């Protein structure tokens, strides 16, 4: 797994990270990893945007009607 080393972290940020880690019963490394993961996820395209892109990519392709399939299955 890749690792990351950070230098030049301001003292107040370092102290804040330490405080968050203690409050959440985590190591500083675990807390920093969690914060980085959250930030990266928040900057990814939203689920609705991803869905819109997929709809555009699939536009014009024949798609099965799932409701009709379910109804037909229930009538068996």
Distance CA 28, CA 24 (A): 10
Assigned domain for 23 exists: yes
Continuous segment of H or E residues that includes residue 50: helix 47-58
Number of residues that this document lists for the chain: 76
Domain count for the chain? 1
**In terms of residue numbers, what domain contains 46?**
11-74
- What does pTM read for this prediction? 0.58
pLDDT of residue 56: 94
Assigned domain for 66 exists: yes
Average model confidence (pLDDT) across the chain:
91
Assigned domain for 1 exists: no
Distance of CA 74 to the CA centre of its chain: 36
pLDDT of residue 70: 92
Residues 15-45 have pLDDT tens digits of: 999 999 999 999 999 999 999 999 888 778 7
């Amino acid at each position: 797994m890749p690792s990351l080393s950070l230098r030049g972290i301001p003292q107040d940020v370092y102290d804040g990270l330490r405080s968050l880690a203690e409050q959440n019963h985590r190591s500083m490394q675990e807390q920093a990893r969690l914060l980085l993961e959250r930030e990266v996820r928040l900057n990814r395209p939203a689920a609705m945007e991803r869905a819109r892109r997929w709809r555009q990519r699939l536009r014009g392709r024949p798609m099965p009607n799932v409701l009709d399939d379910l109804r037909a299955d229930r009538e068996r």
